[in-house]
Structure 1
């Protein structure tokens, strides 16, 4: 892979915010020419596929300002500095759904938008949900509503583009594949 490597000559920080850092890098390309790369630095995120005892998937609906609309998604959130992904997963599950768990299974991780961002998303699954006696308060600026759907209902939401983000589409595809494997 070294033959495609770009060497950073200079980095200019544009913005350092609560969630992302923006920078522009001057790079030398493999052919020796110069170019600029606009980059988003992100601490990473975690998403959870929570399955209830009656085999429904717990989703959250929330408004997404960049899209100017609400989306239905699996619970997810940003990694805090130094925080292990499993801890983030449980924290977000509790804050967003009112459930907790003592058992998480790692599914996969992937880069969300490698053309311009370094965000790494970790996906976990649990079917060992316990309802919290005292719900945990979420972020002050986050407003979510939970809903529970069967896998068939979730697939229908994908077709209708009510579920329309990569991590949630991945989760549904993963569950669909598990269902097909288990029926063989």
Structure 2
């Protein structure tokens, strides 16, 4: 056991929904005292930096209720239980944008908010995009506008706070670094 590890003494399940579960854990701290931790359990997600042959980013514009505003994001979605992240990335790209891809490469995986949630997101780059005639559609409660924008436009959207979420900013900064290396 690490000298920093907290031992769970008791778990109280507070809420179980379609996407998340919330629990409160009582923990024993490294100094022997106890405290509580409010935790959000999430099945994980994927996000796709989709690049067209003419070097545009395929993005989705959608309303985000927690923010009470419309933002522009890279396509993304929740993993189903036991689902392979790469297959989920292809599925979400098709559902949200109508595109399929020739190549899909994992860029990185990271925890989104490790102070209270266990959500991990796997970020991929998709190239060789092809618009599918018979693409799977959006979920019935999902509404998006598909945009194709340049990297420069994406940077402008960041300044305007139209792009304002971590996974999308990560994707844009990844592309900036990749462009510097070329």
Q: Residue 107 of structure 2 aligns with which residue?
A: 107
* Equivalent residue pairs, number: 182
Gaps of 5+ in 1: none
Specify whether residues 102 and 127 from structure 1 end up closer, same or farther in structure 2 by C-alpha distance, changes over 3 A only: closer
Q: Residue 124 of structure 1 aligns with which residue?
A: 124
Root mean square deviation, CA, Å: 0.9
1:164 corresponds to 2:164: yes
Once the two structures are TM-superposed, the CA of residue 7 in structure 1 deviates from its matched residue by 0.3
**In structure 2, C-alpha distance between the alignment counterparts of 1:43 and 1:94, rounded to whole Å:** 20
Q: Residue 5 of structure 2 aligns with which residue?
A: 5
> For the Cα contact (< 8 Å) 2:102–2:127, is it kept in 1?
no
**In structure 1, C-alpha distance between the alignment counterparts of 2:138 and 2:2, rounded to whole Å:** 44
Q: Residue 63 of structure 1 aligns with which residue?
A: 63
Q: What does 1:132-143 correspond to in 2, within 5 Å? A: 132-143=132-143
SS of the residue aligned with 1:117?
A: coil
Q: What does 1:1-150 correspond to in 2, within 5 Å? A: 2-150=2-150
**In structure 1, C-alpha distance between the alignment counterparts of 2:113 and 2:131, rounded to whole Å:** 34
SS of the residue aligned with 1:3?
A: coil
**In structure 2, C-alpha distance between the alignment counterparts of 1:17 and 1:102, rounded to whole Å:** 35
- Scaled by the length of structure 2, what TM-score is found? 0.98
**In structure 2, C-alpha distance between the alignment counterparts of 1:135 and 1:145, rounded to whole Å:** 15
**In structure 2, C-alpha distance between the alignment counterparts of 1:80 and 1:64, rounded to whole Å:** 21
Once the two structures are TM-superposed, the CA of residue 143 in structure 1 deviates from its matched residue by 0.3
Once the two structures are TM-superposed, the CA of residue 83 in structure 1 deviates from its matched residue by 0.4
**Bigger Cα displacement from structure 2, 70-79 vs 93-102:** 93-102
Once the two structures are TM-superposed, the CA of residue 135 in structure 1 deviates from its matched residue by 2.6
Gaps of 5+ in 2: none
SS of the residue aligned with 1:174?
A: helix
**In structure 2, C-alpha distance between the alignment counterparts of 1:130 and 1:164, rounded to whole Å:** 27
Once the two structures are TM-superposed, the CA of residue 127 in structure 1 deviates from its matched residue by 1.5
